[in-house]
Structure 1
C-alpha cells in the first residue's frame, strides 16, 4: 500500500463500536484509515475489508496504546506505507472498574488515570512530528459526558476522561500556532458499544426519557461529530468539547 493516499487518519481502538464506525466514515470521506486494534485482529480486518469494498483505503495495525514502543512501531509502519498521520482519533477504551469510590482501591482509580493519560500522551507525541512539519493536523480525543455529569459507579472513567479534557485544552493552546487543532467529542450513553453492556434496561429507559431527541446515541452519531472535527475545512475550532447526547445534558 504505497503511493498517493490523501490525508491519513489513525483511529485507535477501531475494531468495533465508535472506532470502527469512525474509520469507515473517514474513509468514505476520502481519508486513508489506519484501523488500530489490541486483540481483535479478525474484527479489525473486517473493518478494513468493508472500507476497501466501498472503494476506500485502510490498513489494520496492532498496537497497545499504553505501550510507547508499540505506538512508535505502528506510526513507523504507517509512515512506510502512506507517509505521516494527519488526523488522530484517540478512541481506544482503557479498562476501568465500575464501583463506588467507597469500594474502590487507589490501584483501580490511579491505575485508570495513569493508563488513560499515558496512552493519550504517547499516541499524541508519536503523531506530532509530522503534523508540526506540515503545519497542520487534527487531534480528536474521545471523552464522556460522565466527566461533567456523574453517574453511580463511574468515578474511575469520569475522572480519567475529565483529566483528558484538561490535557486537550492545554494542547490546543500550545499546538494552535503550529496549525494543529485539538478537540474532544464527549458522547452520552451510546448503543451498540461495550460500555452499553453495563447499563440495565431500567436505567436505559430513564436515560431515553431524559433525552429531548428521544433516543440514545448510536455510534454513527458520534462518528459524524468526529468527522466534523477531522475535516480539513474545520480549521478554526480548537480546545472545544462537543457533547453528543441528544440534549440529555446541555452545557
Structure 2
C-alpha cells in the first residue's frame, strides 16, 4: 500500500514541486494550503492531488485537517513541513504583528502539524518528518530577523525531535534551500538578480524547486533510515555550514 505523505504549503512554489515529485514516486499525497483557493484548485485540477485548506498556525485547524486527511487516505507516514511566509523589515522598524505572524506560521507549525502525527508514527515504528528551513536560518539575513529566527528554530526542533524518536524508526531532517527559482525570486528585476544575487552563488545559477523535491524524496525513502537530525544545505555553495 502506498504511504501517505502530507506536504504543508504544498500547492505552490517549492511545496508544489515536492507534492508532484512524491506523487510521481508512488506516494499518496495530500497537499495543504492556507489561503489561495484559486491556485490550490488549479493545482488540484492539473495534478489530481487532493488539497486541504487549514491554517498551519492554528492547533485546532491542523488537528481537524490532519484527521480528515487520515480518515480519507490512511495514516500520515511522511510529513513535509514546508509552509512558510515572510514579513520582511529592518528589526528597528518591525512591528510585533510582523514578528508574530512569521513565528506562528514558520515555527509554531512545527508543533501544530507534527504533534497530530507523531504518536501514530511511533506506534507503527516508521515515520519521516522533513522540514524545509532556509539558508537564512543558517547564516541570518538583514531585514529578516523574524524569518531567520523561525528558520533557525526549526533546525533545533528537528535535532531534538530526532533524538526522541530515533529508536522508533522515525527520522527527522531539515533541508535548507538557498535561492530557488520560484515565482517570487524570479520577480526580482533581472539586473538585481545578475548583479546582486547570482555572484553570491558559486555554481552561478538559481536552484530549481525540483532539486529541493529530489532531496525530499531521498530523505523520505527507506534508504535514508540512518540519517536523522541532519540539515541538508541545497544552496549551490553559497553558504557552507
- Matching residue of 1:9: 5
- Matching residue of 2:15: 19
- Matching residue of 2:71: 80
Aligned residues: 240
The TM-score, its normalising length taken from structure 1, stands at: 0.89
The alignment status of 1:221 with 2:177, answered yes or no, reads no
The alignment status of 1:129 with 2:158, answered yes or no, reads no
113-122 or 177-186, larger mean C-alpha shift: 113-122
- Matching residue of 2:225: 235
Q: Give the C-alpha shift of residue 107 in structure 1.
A: 4.1
**Deviations 1:25-84, CA, capped at 9 Å, x for gaps:** 0000000110111122332233333334xxxxx311111111111111111212221210
The alignment status of 1:204 with 2:193, answered yes or no, reads yes
CA contact (8 A) 2:78 2:220 kept: yes
- Matching residue of 2:137: 147
Which runs of 5 or more structure 1 residues have no equivalent in the other structure? 53-57
**Deviations 1:155-200, CA, capped at 9 Å, x for gaps:** 1111111111111110011111111101111111111243x26855
The alignment status of 1:50 with 2:50, answered yes or no, reads no
- Choose between structure 1 and 2: higher helix proportion: 2
Alpha-carbon RMSD: 1.8
203-212 or 185-194, larger mean C-alpha shift: 203-212
**Deviations 1:179-235, CA, capped at 9 Å, x for gaps:** 1101111111111243x2685545422321222221011111111111111112210
CA contact (8 A) 1:18 1:193 kept: no
Change in Cα spacing, 1:42 to 1:105, as seen in structure 2 (3 Å) is closer
Distance in 1 separating the partners of 2:158 and 2:213: 19
The TM-score, its normalising length taken from structure 2, stands at: 0.92
- Matching residue of 1:172: 162
The alignment status of 1:29 with 2:25, answered yes or no, reads yes
